[in-house]
Amino acid sequence: MALAYVRTCGGDVAVWEARWRAAVAEWDAHAAAGRSPYLGLAAYGPNDADRFFGRDRLITALVERVARQRLVAVVGASGSGKSSLLRAGLIPALAAGGDFSLRFTPGAHPLRECAVRLGAELRVAPGELVTDFAAREGSLGLALRQVLLTRPAGTEGVPIVDQFEEVFTLCADEDERETFIAALLAAAHDSGYPVRVVLGLRADFYAHCARPPALVDALQDAQVLVGPMTAGELAEVVTESAARAWLGAEGTGPPPAPPASHRPHTRAPRDRPSAAHRKQQDPPWCGM
């Protein structure tokens, strides 16, 4: 079919067939190495940042919003690329800026999922953290602060709760749901903790966030909306991905320099927590 199109357009069949076969050979070589330039419907991860194209404008807006506000919700329709934006866009940008991020999905037991991830960082049994989260509203922020003690001064902790709608769709325990939301809000709003919270939320579950009054207040003017790509952004996804894989959509050649979305983001000025913070009794795991 491709060669028939070349003939119809009056092109040189031999030249275009050679180009086509060379491109297929290079594509097969990259596929064999497990590094296809296109992921299809799969979500991009932190290791895919170098081939996550078309979202430079959105990554910049999200990084700037997170630098300004202590809680941000990333909202978009199913399949809009929210998880890819968080994993291949925000997480690498935070790492480049020297910050620590902790991404997880809440599942049926959000306190447990959070405790498992934090417990691995603190080398503490998750059960201890779950008990403390339930007993003390400020414990999540305190646990994150403990994690940051092993990192350079000025590092901030950013828990990223992807698929936040699971708090409403999978978590059947209303008390656990309310405790988890309260823990996130307390960590984000306590100026004594260098913590910022990011939520990834499917747009069709946005109304669920209007149920807890504290969450309603927190999400006022705190959203980044993920919409469809522009024609130029879609073109970048196709051509830049191919060029980075040495497939050249309009001719072969070495990959170009990465666009701005794949260079370290400079963080905007933001408030740093003061040395004076609320004194509270430390849980048993604090100081380990």
Residues 105-143 have pLDDT tens digits of 999 999 999 999 999 999 999 999 999 998 888 899 999
DSSP characters for 56-118? HHHHHHHHHHHHH-SEEEEEE-TTSSHHHIIIIIIHHHHHHTT-EEEEE--TT-HHHHHHHHH
Contacts of 212 (CB under 8 A, 6+ apart): 178, 181
Q: Is the pLDDT of residue 85 over 50?
A: yes
Q: Regarding predicted confidence, which is higher, 253 or 55?
A: 55
**Using an 8 Å Cβ cutoff, are 52 and 84 in contact?**
yes
Average pLDDT over residues 194-215: 94
Q: Which residue has the tokens 């020297």?
A: 98
CATH class of 46-226: alpha beta
Provide the terminal-to-terminal Cα distance of the chain, rounded to the nearest Å: 66
**Amino acid present at 116:** V
Q: Is the pLDDT of residue 146 over 80?
A: yes
Instruction: Check residue 208 and give its pLDDT.
Output: 94
Identify the band that residue 43 occupies on the pLDDT scale cut at 50, 70 and 90: confident
Instruction: Please give the mean pLDDT across all residues of the chain.
Output: 83
Instruction: Check residue 177 and give its pLDDT.
Output: 95
Domain ranges of the chain: 46-226
Identify the band that residue 35 occupies on the pLDDT scale cut at 50, 70 and 90: low
Q: Regarding predicted confidence, which is higher, 166 or 260?
A: 166
Q: Is the pLDDT of residue 277 over 70?
A: no
Q: Is the pLDDT of residue 172 over 90?
A: yes
Instruction: Check residue 169 and give its pLDDT.
Output: 95
Instruction: Check residue 288 and give its pLDDT.
Output: 53
Report residue 157 CA to chain centroid gap. 14
Six token digits for residue 93: 């940008």
